[in-house]
Structure 1
Amino acid sequence: MNIRTLGKTGYDVSEIGLGTWQLGESFGPVSDESANEILKTARSLDVNFWDTADVYGGGQSERRIGAFRDRKGVFVATKLGRNGEIFPNKTGYNKKNIKESLAGSLKRLGVETLDLAQLHTIPTEVLRDGEVFTIMDGLRDAGMMRHWGASVENVEEALLAMRAPGCTTLQVIFNLFRQDYITEVFPVAQKNNVGVIVRLPLASGLLSGKWTKETKFASTDHRNFNANGEKFNVGETFSGLKFETGIELADQLKQMIPAGMPLSQFALRWILDQPAVSTIIAGVTRPDQLRANVDATRREPIEPVLVAKLADWYQDKVRPQIRGRI
């Protein structure tokens, strides 16, 4: 497994990480046995960066990671700020509530200090105010976490978070359907030595290349109940595209990629070719999916001519159809 340094944290992390939203059964049932097998596979493949959050399954994802004992050399990042009991209606980002949230994650993960605590897509106005950054600095200095970062939903929020010197990482929605960060955010991240964690690299599965317009999702799957932003930011599902539109665009991509290369691995390789990116966290529900993601690191970099073609295609065909803030 190739490794990269996660910005100012100094952590040497695997290029392919593991997203664990699915371990909270947000996409359907995942047994304890299946969850454990995914974590074991991550260890066997040297996937050493695992991302979770306090709200994934009401803490279930964190508890499952906490119960997994073979975590030597693994960096676990969690997130806070969307627990409605602690932050009702996404308000109350004060020291007391943030400390309570972090304490819950510490207990569920079974650690004394968190490797990385990330603000979890908190309101833009809270980022603009900036007091939350001072609070995170103080709780870091008190030993609750070694580093803190921010998971954001758009370019403006990424730039706001990087105003704070204490912000060591950014987690962003970045993929072939969301390319604006290349010019707007990545240069600033590199200048400030902020690690970039990419989430939704396959646009909620659209870039797996395996779906058709007839594909259906379970009622508990966000790709069903949030397809149009009914429950949370529309950009978190299908990168803000309508499902049918995303299928059409994915079919266009299949005509551009090298013969014999799966679309999913092409999409991951394209992200890995961005020097600002530290790691990619893709959620998987089966061990073979994680193995396939890791295989993308062994692919050759994409030819510059094709990269330029993809940039033009994004501007002309994709960007005008994205809903929500980019």
Structure 2
Amino acid sequence: MKNRHLYKDGPLVSEIGLGTWQLGTKWGEPFNEVEAEKVLDEAYKNGITMIDTADCYNGGNSEKAIGNFLKKYSEKFTVVTKCGRCLNPHTTEGYNKENITNFVEGSLSRLGLEKLDMVLLHCPPSPVFSKDEVFEALDSLKSAGKIASYGVSIEKVSEGLSAMKYPISAIEVVFNMFRLKPAEELFPMAKNKGVGIIARVPLASGLLTGRYDENTKFGEKDHRTTNRNGERFDKGETFSGVDYATGLKAVAELKALFGTEDLIPYALKWILMHDEVSVVIPGASKASQVSSNVRAAETPALTKEQMEGVKAIYDKYIRQSVHGLW
């Protein structure tokens, strides 16, 4: 497993990390502590040293499971957690010094840590990215030794551009073969400022695995069933905002481009072909998915023709409906 700096002068982390939105569960199903432990152990065995989580994942059980995992090994893992989505209602006003401090203290307790490696604002309302009080609160927590660094998780490129007016260390953003826009303006500015890029939703909610078809059924409470039009949260989180039927057409051409039914290693390698990316964080609800994801680390660099082919498929099927929204 190759390592990259999480941000300029930041810690070295495995270029493939572990996203834990689904840790110990499938979307909409109860948390399984035993399965969560298996997933984390498999990540360790495969050389993953970066784990991404959030205080709201599985009602805090994701952070607790990671905290227990950290106690088992002497090796250093970098844990990035996020805060803010527990707010109800989820409003700009809720992002204030008192709440952010409480969020950080809660994550420290669940993870069993004295200092967080990194905390990200968890896709807050757009005005938060220009709210001085928020970043002053994060600066205070850093000065107090509660966090080593901070950054933002974003829905829109414009939010990341706004956030870089402040001394953030990293930006977490949806970036995959169906979401090319971040590479145009966000990545160059981040590189210039030494801000790391954490690529999330790398497989477009599984659509870019190549394993789904028109007959695939998702769980009743799965966001891929309930949020296709943004009924619960930003629809860009579900299939990267791509219409499912249209996405299947694009996937068919991607399979032809790479000559395979299994797109996972190619979809992840495509992301890692962008030097600005610090780490990509595919999720895993079971241990076998971890070992499947890390195969991208051994996949040869994509050719110029393959990279151009991905862009051509994006332009043909995806750009018109997706590019301008995020």
TM-score (norm 2): 0.94
2:153 corresponds to which of 134, 151, 154: 151
Letter in 1 for 2:221: T
| Counterpart residue number, 1:128 | 130
1:50-87 superposed Cα distances (whole Å, 9 cap, x missing partner): 000011111111111112222531111100011125x6
Where do residues 11-26 of structure 1 align in structure 2 (5 Å cutoff)?
11-23=11-23, 25=25
5+ residue gaps, structure 2, are none
Letter in 2 for 1:100: N
Across the two proteins, how many residue pairs are aligned to each other? Answer: 323
1:129-177 superposed Cα distances (whole Å, 9 cap, x missing partner): 3431122111111111100011001110111111112x00110100000
- Paired with 1:80 and 1:286, the residues of 2 have a C-alpha distance of 25
Letter in 2 for 1:56: Y
- Paired with 1:137 and 1:261, the residues of 2 have a C-alpha distance of 47
Q: Is the 8 A contact 2:197 2:277 kept in 1?
A: yes
Look up the SS of the partner of 1:118 in the other structure: strand
- Paired with 2:162 and 2:198, the residues of 1 have a C-alpha distance of 17
- Paired with 1:116 and 1:170, the residues of 2 have a C-alpha distance of 11
Letter in 2 for 1:75: T
- Paired with 1:131 and 1:213, the residues of 2 have a C-alpha distance of 47
1:231-271 superposed Cα distances (whole Å, 9 cap, x missing partner): 100101100012222122111211111x3472111111111
Letter in 2 for 1:178: R
Q: Is the 8 A contact 1:5 1:11 kept in 2?
A: yes
Which one is further off, 280-289 or 88-97? 88-97
Q: Is the 8 A contact 1:24 1:58 kept in 2?
A: no
Look up the SS of the partner of 2:184 in the other structure: helix
Judging changes above 3 Å, is the alpha-carbon distance between structure 1 residues 235 and 189 closer, same or farther for their aligned structure 2 residues? Answer: same
| Counterpart residue number, 1:315 | 315
Judging changes above 3 Å, is the alpha-carbon distance between structure 1 residues 261 and 252 closer, same or farther for their aligned structure 2 residues? Answer: closer
Alpha-carbon distance, 1:88 to partner: 4.7
| Counterpart residue number, 1:161 | 163
RMSD: 1.7
2:79 corresponds to which of 76, 80, 92: 76
Which one is further off, 248-257 or 199-208? 248-257
Where do residues 97-116 of structure 1 align in structure 2 (5 Å cutoff)?
97-116=99-118
- Paired with 1:16 and 1:75, the residues of 2 have a C-alpha distance of 12
**Same amino acid, percent of matched pairs:** 41
Which one is further off, 89-98 or 234-243? 89-98
Letter in 2 for 1:238: F
Q: Is the 8 A contact 2:254 2:313 kept in 1?
A: no
- Paired with 2:222 and 2:9, the residues of 1 have a C-alpha distance of 33
Letter in 2 for 1:282: P
Look up the SS of the partner of 1:107 in the other structure: helix
Q: Are 2:68 and 1:67 equivalent residues in the alignment? A: yes
TM-score (norm 1): 0.94
Letter in 1 for 2:57: Y
Which one is further off, 22-31 or 309-318? 22-31
- Paired with 2:34 and 2:151, the residues of 1 have a C-alpha distance of 31
Judging changes above 3 Å, is the alpha-carbon distance between structure 1 residues 260 and 212 closer, same or farther for their aligned structure 2 residues? Answer: closer
